[in-house]
Amino acid sequence: MVEMTGAKALICALEKEGVDVVFGLPGGANLPIYDALVDASALRHILVRHEQSAAHMADGYARIKRKAGVCFATSGPGATNLVTGIATAYSDSSPIVAVTGQVQSSMIGKDAFQETDIIGVANPCTKYAFQPRTASEIPETVKKSFYIAESGRPGPVLIDIPKDVQQESADMTFPELIKVRGYNPVVDADLSQIGKAEQILLKAERPIIMAGGGVILSGAFSELQALSELLMIPVVTTFKGKGAFPENHPLAMGPIGMHGHAEANKIILEADCIVAVGARFSDRSVGRFDEFGKGMNIIHMDVDPAEIGKNKSVDVAVIGDVRSSLRTLIKMLPKKIVRNDTDTPWMKRRKELIDYYAEALKDYSRELTAKKALKKLREILPANAITTTEVGQCQMWTSLHFDVISPGTFFSSTGLGTMGFGFPASIGAKAARPVVPVVDIAGDGSFNMTENSLAVSVLDNLPVIVFLMNNYMLGMVAQWQRTFYNRRYMGVHQHNCPDYTKIAEAYGAQGIKVQSLEELEKAIKSALKTEVATVIDIPIDPEEDVYPFVAPGTGLKDMVTGA
């Protein structure tokens, strides 16, 4: 046992968890924590300009590092500013540990200055929220927080520490192992269920794998690829699962969903068996729950038992870590699999669909379109580069036109759809893996929301590339107003304000405006070489739509391929 303050114990406990960086912003109620940070030389603190970005950075860090990211904020508005970032992480099952200061214990419930019931606010969007009432609880609370955040289906955990608890001295014991009664995240998959899945798969004539974000979270890349190749099963992904499977692989069909690849949306309707791996059948992926998968055998593998039957009733449920479930399934398959035949009707159909849509889907004739810009980016970026996106048209164009080659190098705010996520999250990703290029594929609407993270990128030497597809519009909203509201535009015009290259320069970053594909190529190459963040401002026609499109409330069969 060692005597120290609660604040010091927090820092020690974080260091014991292997935390090397925290993203945060100080205030009145977390000053003791910041004072303890002064002496913590191994812990890098990255000062943000808005707490929302701190949570997004911790999230981006977590998605690449595959361990919890940490963010700090003070009480009241500091804590509530974190909430969008926490909710984003919750929607996408990303592990973050958010530490907020709280007013001192005696003031709680007195409507004190900068007091918010952040436990109450955060409850619906965290896996758990702690409020230690004595300093001696802090080491165990931190240990539990990381355990809960990182295990099972990952997610955010909040620790709200009253100021007096940060200041209080106590004898501290740092536990090595922790058990949480009522929380048993590790379950071994039921072998009989895996056996059933195997039987269905071997009998299926038109099987398809639908890979979700769970594949990325559990790092089941090689297992997924092995299953697909062994049985010659085409792979579609959800948007969250984009990059779970190399998108240049012959069996890759790309993401399904509202703006999925046309061939992916088509082929999944023709399948007789779907293996959903770490996917949750979200409305954006499957359209109508009642129509999707009708008459097909559905095998659902997921670590979260509550996902089974939530949106879709399934034939076989394999509950457990998808990586270990896939391994077991592969081991069960007959030793000699003879399915390397690309001549089956199913493989021919697959090829037919890909070829058909490659021809049928026309790009706009202009020199610079979102599709051409993204193809150019892919051409130049190394395969191991990390890409993320903002939300809206830029995100859906990425889904359609940017192939993720190296598994696990892509992520986006897919569940909550948080505009402003991509840029700070890319900075977090850069902190997790500084040696590879990191690109935020952005739109002007989203980038506007958290552009002040340029200061962080520049000052903390975390250079990322903002690939800004600028159509002077909240483009996706404009597209919906065009499509569903008879072009009655309202509240969508951004009028190319501000000038994004000047914004970049004002923060000490590089800003490049391009007008042609040739200039774009030069700009990307320059951005890859330079040591500071680069904003590449790429003009996109405001009338450019994202197609194919499955309108909300309709099924994948109702996909529209053009205006």
Partner 1 sequence: MSTATATTTTTTIANGKITPLYILSALVEDKPGVLFRVTNLFRARNFNIESITVGSTEQADLSRMTITTKSDEKTLDQLVKQLKKLIDVVEVKVLDTGNTVYRELALIKMRAGDPTTRMEITNFASIFRANILDIGKETIIVELTGTPDKIDAFKNLVDHYGITQLARTGVSALPRGVEV
Cβ contact 302:278 at 8 Å: yes
Cβ contact 390:441 at 8 Å: yes
Determine, following the binding rule CB under 8 A, whether residue 308 of this chain makes contact with partner 1.
yes
Looking at residues 398 to 417 of the shown chain, list those that interact with partner 1 (rule: CB under 8 A). Answer: none
- Give how many residues touch partner 1 by CB under 8 A: 18
Q: Shortest approach of partner 1 to residue 309 CB, angstroms?
A: 6
Determine, following the binding rule CB under 8 A, whether residue 289 of this chain makes contact with partner 1.
no
Looking at residues 141 to 170 of the shown chain, list those that interact with partner 1 (rule: CB under 8 A). Answer: 148
Active site residues: 51, 113-114, 163, 476
C-alpha 225/C-alpha 297 separation (Å) is: 21
C-alpha 346/C-alpha 355 separation (Å) is: 14
Among residues 192, 313, 461, 561, the one that binds partner 1 under rule CB under 8 A = 313
Which DSSP category does 493 fall into? B
Q: Shortest approach of partner 1 to residue 126 CB, angstroms?
A: 10
Nearer to partner 1, 140 or 543 (CB): 140
Q: Shortest approach of partner 1 to residue 109 CB, angstroms?
A: 12
Nearer to partner 1, 96 or 201 (CB): 96
Number of residues written out for the chain: 563
Nearer to partner 1, 131 or 470 (CB): 131
Looking at residues 23 to 52 of the shown chain, list those that interact with partner 1 (rule: CB under 8 A). Answer: none
Stretch that binds partner 1, among 1-9, 90-98, 302-310, 519-527 (CB under 8 A): 302-310
Determine, following the binding rule CB under 8 A, whether residue 489 of this chain makes contact with partner 1.
no
**Contact partners, residue 199, CB within 8 Å, separation at least 6:** none
C-alpha 371/C-alpha 374 separation (Å) is: 5
Per-residue binder mask for partner 1 (CB under 8 A), 111-130, x = binder: --------xx--xx--xx--
Nearer to partner 1, 156 or 260 (CB): 156
Nearer to partner 1, 123 or 199 (CB): 123
Helix (H, G, I), strand (E, B) or coil at 399: helix
Per-residue binder mask for partner 1 (CB under 8 A), 333-352, x = binder: --------------------
**Through-space distance between the first and last CA atoms of the chain, rounded to whole angstroms:** 69
Among residues 203, 294, 310, 366, the one that binds partner 1 under rule CB under 8 A = 310
Which DSSP category does 486 fall into? T
Helix (H, G, I), strand (E, B) or coil at 438: strand
Nearer to partner 1, 304 or 543 (CB): 304
Q: Shortest approach of partner 1 to residue 181 CB, angstroms?
A: 6
Count of CB atoms situated within 10 Å of the CB of 113: 11
Spatial CA neighbour of 515 closest among 526, 523, 525: 523
Cβ contact 376:401 at 8 Å: no
**Contact partners, residue 532, CB within 8 Å, separation at least 6:** 457, 458, 463, 508, 509, 510
Per-residue binder mask for partner 1 (CB under 8 A), 66-105, x = binder: ----------------------------------------
Side chain identity at residue 485, one-letter code? Y
Looking at residues 175 to 194 of the shown chain, list those that interact with partner 1 (rule: CB under 8 A). Answer: 180-183
Phi, psi for 556 (deg, rounded to 5):
-60, -30
**Contact partners, residue 224, CB within 8 Å, separation at least 6:** 209, 211, 215, 235, 244, 245, 277, 326
Positions touching partner 1 (CB under 8 A) are 119-120, 123-124, 127-128, 148, 180-183, 304-306, 308-310, 313
